A and B are shown apart, each in its own frame.
Chain A
Amino acid sequence: MGRRRRRRRVDPADAARALPEAIAALSQTLPAGPSPETFRRAKFDRPEAAPALWRLLFRVLSPQLADGASASFSPEAQVRSVKLALRTQGYPRRALAQLPDDGSQGGRELLLALAWLLARGPLPERLLTQNRVQLGDEMPVCECEALASPGPPAPSVEADGCVDIRHLQWLMGKLRFRWRNLMASQQEQCALLGKIHSYTRGCHSDRSLGHLSVTETELLRDPEGGRQLLRRLERENARLQAALEWRRRELVFWRWMVGGRGPQWSAARTALREAVGQDLAALRQACERGGGCSLAQPHGPHRLVRTEAGAPGGPGLRAPEVIEALRSQEARLEVVLRQLQGQCRQELARLVGAPPGPVWILPPGR
């Protein structure tokens, strides 16, 4: 006689709590996450829920914006930004694009968009990684992540009628100066980091690191800063806990979203997952072909550690390796740049109507 499998009795009270708890967990891991009640209202397309969801999507789709920076975007700007970002990522539903720009409607559509983003990949985890508290001085060693995720959509300016070429020349010149200023700022930052690292040699309890980072130095200098850092770490911990909770409970959320069409939904979801997986694989290939990383080590930011010449370093990348990889990438990009310049030259000649001849294109910086 086989053992009778007893179905576990689910306490109805527990079942009722499960959904709000799942949504609360999701909300806590996301920036600007609204309350479970807001989610519920959104599902019923109640207008009061729409603004909160627009704000949530805005924060989710432009994670590189600092906490305070989103306040400088008006509600209309946030709505337009969300629409553009979703379109860029290939979101298929036109109903969302047609929602009014004042952010007053569309809770249900927005909830669907959020679910689409969640289904595509590990969204909460990715956001947490991007915004994590950094104790060391970090620098990226490759461009892969930056290339794979589009930045915040820039406001597009409609050029109605003629554009004065002097205005364009002005803008080009401004871009060049900004680039030079950025270079100078980066060099300054490197020089100062070098100073801090060499002055604090021997101060770190972790011998393999040997010196302090800027954050760690500030910790010692300013106790109040230390307390703030502690609070940030505690908040981050809470969000990480919430992320784990979310993963445990997310099935409840998905069931609620699709209203019980279980087998259909999982089939659809599997299909979606496959399609997205293929997209990502293609993107990764294109990235590597087009001069992405040739590094053996993991991509993403690394902590900067300064060692004495000749001293054995710890695990991780060595500077010469990174420099080599960057140099070869630079060479590849130079080739692409020359190709593009050649194309521009030919296009200009075609527009001018003359056979291609010498066209003086000044190199940047002059």
Chain B
Amino acid sequence: MSIVTVQLGQCGNQIGFEVFDALFSDSHCPQGLCSKRENEAYRASCKERFFSEEENGVPIARAVLVDMEPKVINQTLSKAAHSGRWKYGQHSCFCQKQGSGNNWAYGYSVHGPRHEESIMNLIQKEVEKCDSLNGFFIIMSMAGGTGSGLGAFVTQNLQDQYSNSLKMNQIIWPYGTGEVIVQNYNSILTLSHLYRSSDALLVHENDAVHKICAKLMNIKQISFRDINQVLAHQLGSVFQPTYSGEGSFHYRRNPLGDLMENLVPHPEFKMLGVRNIPQMSENSLAYSTFTWAGLLKHLRQMLISNAKMEEGIDWQVRPPLSGLPTRGKMSLNKESHFNTSIANLVILRGKDVHSAELGAFKDPALYTSWLEPVHAFSVWKTQRAFSKYEKSAALVSNSQFLVKPLDTIVGKAWNMFASKAYIHQYTKFGIEEEDFLDSFTLLEQVIASYCNLGF
């Protein structure tokens, strides 16, 4: 089954390119550490999911590129075509001549309806090329103007037009010290709209990925390209093919559906975070060997201590002792607290993957009281190694990962809203104070629900 990706705005298009490139490179990696036949099955599965075929054989990404200005799209198209290995479809882009100056309301209320037909037609064409549609990825920033407002509009349209298909938004969480004054307004509007029309929100935090580049990859001058490549690596380690079950050697046909069924069936809990291990520069990779026990121990501690990467993990954080009441309502001020999960998905790739011991992830103390580990924890495996890492593990988690960042953003937005600063930019284009209040209410509810997981 195939996934159609909608790349929105500068952010979405730049990241989208890196994602397709990472997927393609990995699927053609000769060092798969498995038999030729296995490698071919892996490649075919990845290809069917993310690329379509053309007569002369260069795979075409199943993607629609949307932006209100042509510069980034043109760059993206030419980078892909230049590589000679894969490309974007000739007629898969929609762009306008002028930008829209970071205005969420303009993106949602003006660009959206104005260009609705053209954009949805492009998506329809891409869908028709699929033998069967698994669902959509929508890659967008949360806080920029065009990408986020238009992204919210497009996601709503996808909900209306393809109500049975699955939708996952890949959301780029802005830097805490971002440049856009109204980024918090944009963020809350985006999140509240997406919460209503999307199935899952997979959040990528710029701050976290930036740290990974600095500390783990040892990159001195971190560019957006570096950030996007780390992000793409994370996504690839989740969505590249995995076996459909314990003991099976057929590749899973519906990863999006399986993931959603296991992680986001509850309508109030849709926010997902991703962690992966190991993550390092290629130079260091050659000199490193890992055991599954070591990798999983670190990954588990990253989960419960809410660490963003494998360095600087707080090993003091421990799950509450079973039988004792959990500590009182989760305090948002405490730095070190235990991260309660609702559900977790661990994805293992590489050598001896069947020998990896996952008992520690099935500890009931990790999870909220109303869901048992047998329902809350799932694991995907393949012995085909990912992207030159002999062993690698990824974790997609529905947990309290994002409560603190979300609460921070809502708090800042509320403070601005209290003085009605910059509201006219929104009301000018049809986003009323009511809409802001609705967004605050929804997000406060989400925060409260996640906080109450400790009970």
Contacts and interface: CB of A to CB of B under 8 A. Distances in A.
A166 B253 contact: no
B257 A181 contact: yes
Nearest to A183: B164
Interface in B336-386: 369-371, 375
B157 interface: no
A174 B262 CA distance: 7
B260 to A, nearest CB: 5
Interface in B161-180: 163-166
Given A174-B261, A180-B166, A181-B257, A169 B131 contact: no
B214 to A, nearest CB: 38
Interface in B1-32: 1
Nearest to B375: A170
Q: How large is the interface on A (under 10, 10 to 19, 20 to 34, 35 or more residues)?
A: 20 to 34
Given A181-B261, A185-B254, A365 B371 contact: no
Contact of B254 (A164, A184, A192): A184
B163 A365 contact: yes
Given A185-B253, A365-B164, A178 B369 contact: no
A184 B370 contact: no
Contacts of A167: 370-371
B132 interface: yes
B266 A184 contact: no
Contacts of A153: none
Contacts of B132: 184, 187-188, 191-192
Contacts of A173: 264-267
A22 to B, nearest CB: 41
Interface string B232-263: 00000000000000000000011001101100
A181 B259 CA distance: 11
B370 A180 contact: no
A169 B368 CA distance: 14
Contact of B265 (A170, A185, A192, A365): A170
Main SS class of interface, B: loop
B277 to A, nearest CB: 28
Contacts of B305: none
A184 B134 contact: yes
A193 to B, nearest CB: 11
A185 B1 CA distance: 8
Given A173-B265, A173-B266, A184 B260 contact: no
Contacts of B81: none
B133 interface: yes
Interface in A140-198: 164, 166-167, 169-174, 176-178, 180-181, 183-185, 187-188, 191-192, 195
Nearest to B265: A173
A184 B167 CA distance: 13
Contacts of A185: 253-254
Nearest to A163: B370
A366 B195 CA distance: 11
Given A184-B164, A185-B253, A195 B131 contact: yes
Nearest to A174: B265
Contacts of A366: 159, 163
Contacts of B268: 169
Across chains A and B, which 4 residue pairs bring their CB atoms closest together, nearest first? A173-B265, A188-B132, A164-B370, A181-B257
Interface of A: 164, 166-167, 169-174, 176-178, 180-181, 183-185, 187-188, 191-192, 195, 365-366
Interface of B: 1, 131-134, 159, 163-166, 253-254, 257-258, 260-261, 264-268, 369-371, 375
